[in-house]
Structure 1
């Protein structure tokens, strides 16, 4: 019985040209290092993404803090109205809500800009990769295509480049946003109540440890 020769590029593909089995990189650290070096050409764009992603997250974190001022003003006004010593200061509440709206609009604009810039960078990197890979394929000896079809090779390249582009477009901004959110929320908690923040920090690992035994 004849057996199909395995492709040097990896495993087989399922419907739609996608790989049926995922493969691990042989040198993950080296691959990441090469990728960052490859992205070095777009330093200005990446710095722009970093600035706008951090800015968007900061404005989102500040929002609840400002909203709490409106809640406090409303509560104090209700207490004063019930006791007959004053009324609710709706003008102050209105000003706070307008400020809150402005902050969230700025956050949305920042988020849009960083997403737009990052999408452009990922598309440029994908285009550059496809171009260089195409030039590489043109230099491959014809003997290679005797055991590996052109369609299979192109399918593998297309899937890998598309996956890389999507990962760059999503992962980098999510990483920046997540780190900024954790730091920002921690600072906000400390500004509200250092004691409660300390209690929360102590309780979290203890809770995680207890859950692991359940």
Structure 2
């Protein structure tokens, strides 16, 4: 008779409630070597230093424009109030020309802030996509040399899910985290 190989079938886990334990949320796996993983991730990001520094510069500009905007709006409000008080007292009038010019400047500030934010997001998305592409390429090269016996013990869906979901999650987290970190730090400083 032919040599029979035993495959291990995982035992089904008992789920609690309609979505399992804790409402369907699973605990994330802890990294075995967090520092090494972060070093590797920073190595991936380090290859795109120019784009990351440009994104930081655009984020700083965007935040600066957003911080200056309310101060300019406060000057407009003050000028309008002073003009109304002067008109009520009969000593002057509201300077609508100055207010219109200042509001035009304020509009330009907010448009510049939006453009800087858009460029920053575009740059970081590009960096993230390039990093994910490189990771997928390296994973595909590693899977090409994995012995077939590995695939006998693991389902195809599990292997493919690992590849696609983990890289996609990392890409989304990287894009959101770096962008939010840059913007938050700049706003705190401002």
* TM-score, length of structure 2 as denominator length: 0.86
The structure with more helix, counted as a fraction of residues: 1
Is the 2:128–2:171 contact (alpha carbons within 8 Å) kept by the matching residues of 1?
yes
73-82 vs 23-32, which moves further: 23-32
CA separation in 1, counterparts of 2:182 and 2:124?
12
Query: 1:19–1:156: 8 Å Cα contact kept in structure 2?
Result: no
**1:161: Cα distance to partner?**
0.2
- After superposition, the C-alpha distances for 1:151-188 in whole angstroms (9 at most, x for unaligned) are 2111111111000110111110110100110110xxxx
Residues 106-163 of structure 1 show CA distances to partners (whole Å, capped at 9, x for unaligned) of 0000011011111111111111100100010011111111111222111111111000
The residue that corresponds to 2:143 in the other structure is 137
Does residue 1:175 correspond to 2:181, yes or no? yes
Matching of residues 11-160 of structure 1 within 5 Å: 20-160=26-166
Q: Secondary structure at the match of 1:143?
A: helix
Question: SS of 2:47's equivalent?
Answer: helix
Unmatched 5+ residue regions in structure 2? 1-6, 12-18
Counterpart-to-counterpart distance in 2, 1:152 and 1:108: 42
The number of residue pairs the alignment matches comes to: 173
Contact between 2:76 and 2:99, CA under 8 Å: does it hold in 1?
Answer: yes
Q: 1:5 to 1:140 in 2, by over 3 A?
A: farther
TM-score (norm 1): 0.76
Q: Shift of residue 3 of structure 1?
A: 5.8
Find the structure with the greater CA-based Rg: 2
Structure 1 position 4, deviation (Å): 2.4
- RMSD over equivalenced CA pairs, Å: 1.9
- For 2:145 and 2:27, the matched residues in 1 are separated by 28
